[in-house]
Amino acid sequence: MTALDLSSPVAVVGTGTMGQGIAQVALVAGHPVRLYDAVQGRAAEAADAIGARLDRLVEKGRLSGAERDAARARLTPAGQLADLAGCGLVVEAVVERLDVKQELFRALEDVVGDDCLLATNTSSLSVTAIAGGLASPGRFVGLHFFNPAPLLPLVEVVSGFATDVSSATRAYETARAWGKTPVACADTPGFIVNRIARPFYAEALAVYEDQGADPATIDAVLRESGGFRMGAFELTDLIGQDVNESVTHSVWQAFFQDVRFTPSLAQRRLVESGRLGRKSGQGWYDYREGAERPEPHTAEPAERPAYVVAEGGLGPAAEVLALIREAGIEVREDGEDNGYDEDNGTRLVLPSGGQLVLADGQTSVEYRDVVYFDLAYDYRAATRVALAAARSTSPCTVAEATGLFQALGKKVSVIGDVPGMIVARTVARLVDLAVEAVAQGVATEEDVDTAMRLGVNYPLGPLEWSRRLGGGWACSVLDNLHECAPSGRYAHSLALHRHAYAADQQEGTPS
């Protein structure tokens, strides 16, 4: 099944920001486009707005004047739903209410031909449920664009329970012909991105709620150590706190209130207060004129240690040993037993006898003089590293650990003794949900990784991250987190257990 022919008109129902963006994509690709909105006059206003954006594309050299004029000539506001007869594809981008969408598509069935592909741009509702009342649900598919649609490449092509393979294939190929990067997925709550991305927000909020760190510090660690484009608090301020919380709540309800998707009380209070983010002027941060952005906690300069003792290769943090040597600090290869259980990971022993351990889901309070350091996407490129210590940890140990990473050219943020710290717990949960989604047939590994890189700008797809960290890494971190906080939130999936076991078998690790 090939893409929709360029001579076939595309209709967009709903002329808000997303509807206009989808219409622009189809228009620039070469289709005749018809715009319809239930509110009289809005379709014409949307056509004018799209025309203005085409003008800006010409000014930027991305479109020629002739191409703009031809596109404008193909754009038609529709006065009534009946004007969409003869279209080969209708994409809906109206309010996120199941009853409204169902009523719209039932009406469309009486207007369009039998070969017309019907698509919803829903981000949170069930594609299967929207199509449930249709006479021909086999031609119904989800086409979930990301905002702004003309700029972001990802499109989730969602097959409902009754969607024909030919319809999904045509939608997929059409999105690709429009210059997008489509990924195929089954109709699961949140699809790929909004399902798997929940921990990115949830774990940052959990660290905040547990008084582990303030929003500015958590965001800085996610960016400067984790390699994420934006931190969770600044990203939800950009999305809109009400929108982000609504998606979280929808996914939580759709999974029968699975504790792994539980919404945040702190975010609920923010929404209740009307602090919705950039659009309201205040969210986690203050965007009003003259407001100052809070700075992340950064430790004062500390003296570098003369040497460290390496007990093991530090696993995913092995690059740290190379950086220590390059900084001119002696690395010794063995040391006396200082009380840390080596079965749980490798460590660095500092001159004072304190220990520096990669975040593994445990807390410092469980051991004598242990400072944890957080996971980094790339320790060489990272500009900040987080440390966590218990109140009982020796200040000398914290100072030596701080001075060590400062000697490597890193800013240091010392946070509270929260298990899994910030980046490590976030990545472990992302890996778990991604592995589970693949095992349940939601999407392929490749499409999951593509969706998370393009849809939310992650530095790596979760499956790529798992391969880099080792198949059993996420499972081990979550096991330790679950032991610390046995609510079920960190109980890993059966799929991750199998994933870890298979990786161990492949590596020849005894079971």
Retrieve residue 196's tokens: 């798997």
Give the count of beta carbons closer than 10 Å to the beta carbon of residue 278: 15
Cβ atoms of 374 and 423 closer than 8 Å = yes
Cβ–Cβ < 8 Å for 125, 151: no
User: What is the DSSP annotation of 117-154?
Assistant: EEEE--SSS-HHHHGGG-S-GGGEEEEEE-SSTTT--E
Query: Which tokens sit at 357?
Result: 């351990």
Residue 389 pairs in a beta bridge with 371
Nearest Cα neighbor of 303 from 406, 372, 394 is 406
Q: Enumerate the active-site residues.
A: 123, 144, 156, 194
Q: Could you give the maximum distance between any two Cα atoms of the chain, in Å?
A: 81
**What DSSP element (H or E) covers 76?**
strand 75-78
The pair of three-digit structure tokens given for residue 154, joined into one six-digit string: 């990802």
Distance in angstroms (rounded) separating the CA atoms of residues 407 and 210: 30
For 189-213, the DSSP string reads TTTTHHHHTHHHHHHHHHHHHTTS-
Q: Which helix (H) or strand (E) holds 454?
A: helix 445-456
User: 391: closest CA among 358, 414, 374?
Assistant: 414
CB 185 within 8 Å of CB 212: no
DSSP string computed for 210-253: TTS--HHHHHHHHHHTT--SS-HHHHHHHH-HHHHHHHHHHHHH
d(CA 126, CA 375): 36
- What type of residue sits at position 29? A
DSSP 336: -
From the CA atom positions of the chain, what is the Rg in Å? 26
